[in-house]
Amino acid sequence: MNARESAAERPLILAITGASGAVYATRLLEVLLRAGREVHLVISPSGAAVIKQELDTAIDATRPNLAKLLPVDVGDLSRKVIAYHHEDFMSPIASGSFLTGGMVVCPCSGSTLSAIAHGASQNLIQRAADVQLKERRKLILVPRETPLSVLHIENMHRAAQAGAVILPAMPGWYHGVKSVQDLVDFVVARILDQLEVPHELMKRWGTA
């Protein structure tokens, strides 16, 4: 990776953990690939279990079949996905010397949020997130939990203080919602905005 490359040209990290909302992750992955971005993907065992439960799709978390994981065919774009075992600390994304354009944990489980907030680094997802924070790179956490305990709120506060963006999966309704897909795209659009990835997933407020 050429150190002079802009963040807009650098690979992005997507981690999928064991919280409800797997559809947000698969839609985000699809849009990132269509935007031509290289995605380094890590799926926790719990994340794979949620994908099976919510999307009725059994996947190998270390070698995910994109034809099964994504609802649409992305063709040759699948070569832009590099997947890692969630315990592979020798992967590039475990090091700050590997330049990235940011990382998204979507959905972000409460246990992953807690580990990141406290610098646990007990698996690759947590370590990669810790790297983003220490290198002052974009880290977006997408929790999907309700109601929230005081511990959840404190962990979000702690992660935000460390530099993370807390972006709960809370879709808005003001953009002409006609389907569940519109609600999914609202959250994905917010994530893409944080990553500065252009998109046309929804009409912006105040536009015709």
Domain 10-195: assigned CATH number: 3.40.50.1950
- What backbone torsions phi and psi does residue 103 show, to the nearest 5 degrees? -140, 140
Alpha helices in 1-123 (DSSP H): 22-34, 45-55, 66-69, 110-117
- pLDDT, residue 124, reads 97
pLDDT digits (tens, 9 = 90+) for 140-184: 999 999 999 999 999 999 999 999 999 999 998 888 889 999 999
Picking from 149, 155, 153, 187, the residue whose alpha carbon sits closest to that of residue 170 is 187
- Write down the domain spans for the chain: 10-195
- Interval 55-78 mean pLDDT: 82
The two tokens of residue 192 are 């893409």
Q: β-strand 12-16 against 81-84: which pairing, if any?
A: unpaired
- pLDDT, residue 20, reads 97
Burial of 166-200, coded b for 16+ CB within 10 Å and e otherwise, reads bbbbebeeebeeeeeebbbbbbbbbbbeebebebe
pLDDT digits (tens, 9 = 90+) for 111-132: 999 999 999 999 999 999 999 9
